[in-house]
Structures are given as C-alpha cells and as structure tokens.
Amino acid sequence: MHLKETEPSPGSITAPEDLQSNLNITLTHKPTTTVSSSTPNEQQQQQPPNKSRRPLYFAYGSNLSPTQMRHRCTQNPTRSSHPVAIATLPHWRWLICESGYANVVPPPSLRIGKQLSGGDKVPVSGEEDAVFGVLYDMDVGDERLLDGFEGVDRCAPVSREGGRVPLRVRPREQGSGDYNKWVVGARVVRWLDGGYQRGLIGDGDGEGEDGEGEGGEVMTLVYVDEERVKCGPPYKEYIARMNRAISEAETLGFPAKWAEEVMRPYIPRE
C-alpha cells in the first residue's frame, strides 16, 4: 500500500479459528470438504451453501500501483496484483499522516482512540466525502506478505473496542503495529474485470443478491493506522511511489479530479 520498503515478515495477523467462526468472516483461505450421507434425491432438495468469500483488498496509497503490487505479492502475483474494481469508502477521510505515509480515518460512528479527537481535523475527502481506492482479489499468502510491508502486529490481542466497533470490522488491537486490519463494506464504482464480476455475482447480470453490481457493496480489507491521524508531509521516498500509483490508477479509471483535490495537496508532482 504505502509503507517504506521493508522486508515482509512471515505469518499473518488473521484471527484465531474460534474468532473467525464467531465473526463469520474469512481472512484466510480454508479449503473445505463436504461429506454427505444423504441420498441423491435429498441432495437435490437441499439448498447449496452460501459461497464463503474472502474480503477484497482495498488499496488507497502506493499499492494503487499494480506494478508495486507485483513486486510485493510474490506468492501469486498474477492474481494479487490484478485490479478488479474501483471503489469507495463512503464518509472516510484520506490523508498523509505524521509518519509520512497514506492513512484513512473512518466515519465518526466507527472512530476509536486518537481517531475520536483527530478525525474531524482531517479534511473531508473531496466533494464525494469518500475515499477512492482500487480493489484486488489478493491471495492469502500475499496477504501475509503485505502484512509485513504494512507493519501489522501479529501478536496484538483481540479488540477491546467491540462495543463501539464490531469485532467483525476490527478483530484485533493495533498493538505495536504500524497499521491494523479492518474489514468494511466498500461501494463499487466500476468493475475493471467483467469475468471476475460475473464469477462473484454468479449470474453476470450486475445485480447479485449481495449488491455486488456497480453501486453495490463488497466487503474489503483495509489497513488503518489508528495511532497517527494528524496530517503531515510525505516521507521523501514515498513521493515517487505515490506519483507512480496515481498515474497507474488513473489509467485504470481512478478519478483524476479526486486525486487532484485530495491527494495532490500532499503529493507534489515530480
């Protein structure tokens, strides 16, 4: 996404098995095998189970660049660096925070800790009052690699903010990490891969049961720095990567006007 070029650490911050079950979310692929003792007629009468889907990855910083994603996601780069949609996080706010890298602040109803006092000081993200990003269908192995680049604390405890922010949204504390992992709904602005969209929705008509057509909502993984929510200048090496990210994203259909209004006050052209 947007952090300094450090070597990724092995492992993942995925929730423990019992937590995943309680949250009804899947942060890692877990192949399952169903064994049925029912007769063929009974099987025909049974409804097929709902397809379990991992959240798509919502990139909003330097990982807007598919080129950077290919360099970082070495487990399955063909899949993980392939953009599938342009989407927004409604009522979120985008900034370069005091660490020098991109960050996002959630809407007031989901804010915790320093977000409560600092969130309103971050400018509203353009006329749309939303953060735009690029969605990737990231491989679980590459998610672990990206956790390392984003500085996720794999030993952080289970969230203590479950009363304000549901555990399904924020499974863990940020701990000593640079970013935390949230799972939130994003609004699809434009699908970039019609084949992927048809596979996700099932019938290809753009109006799936889960609202996954354009204008509908999909669940996404978002890296959020809960601790650094003040606006600041960009880290020097980050400027070049953000310029590449903006350029590549705009070729995909990322809104140039939004980038100009929201990103360019922080990111000078080179």
209 in a structural domain: yes
pLDDT digits (tens, 9 = 90+) for 8-39: 443 333 443 333 333 333 333 333 333 334 44
pTM (2 d.p.): 0.79
99 assigned to a ligand binding site: no
Where in 128-179 does DSSP place strands (E)? 130-136
* Close Cβ partners of 165 (under 8 Å, ≥ 6 residues apart): 110, 112, 159
33 in a structural domain: no
101 assigned to a ligand binding site: no
217 in a structural domain: yes
11 in a structural domain: no
60 assigned to a ligand binding site: yes
Q: What is the pLDDT of residue 22?
A: 38
214 in a structural domain: yes
10-residue averages of pLDDT along the chain (270 residues): 43 38 36 38 34 83 98 97 97 98 98 96 97 97 98 97 94 98 97 82 45 81 98 97 98 98 96
85 in a structural domain: yes
182 in a structural domain: yes
62 assigned to a ligand binding site: yes
Nearest 5°: phi and psi at 76?
-150, 65
179 assigned to a ligand binding site: no
59 assigned to a ligand binding site: yes
Q: Which domain holds residue 169?
A: 54-263
pLDDT digits (tens, 9 = 90+) for 44-90: 333 333 334 789 999 999 999 999 999 999 999 999 999 999 999 99
Number of domains comprising the chain: 1
Tell me the H-state helices in 89-221. Answer: 114-118, 140-150, 194-201
Q: What is the pLDDT of residue 8?
A: 40
Q: What is the CA radius of gyration of the chain?
A: 19
CATH classification of the domain holding 121: 3.10.490.10
What are 61's two structure tokens? 């910083």
230 in a structural domain: yes
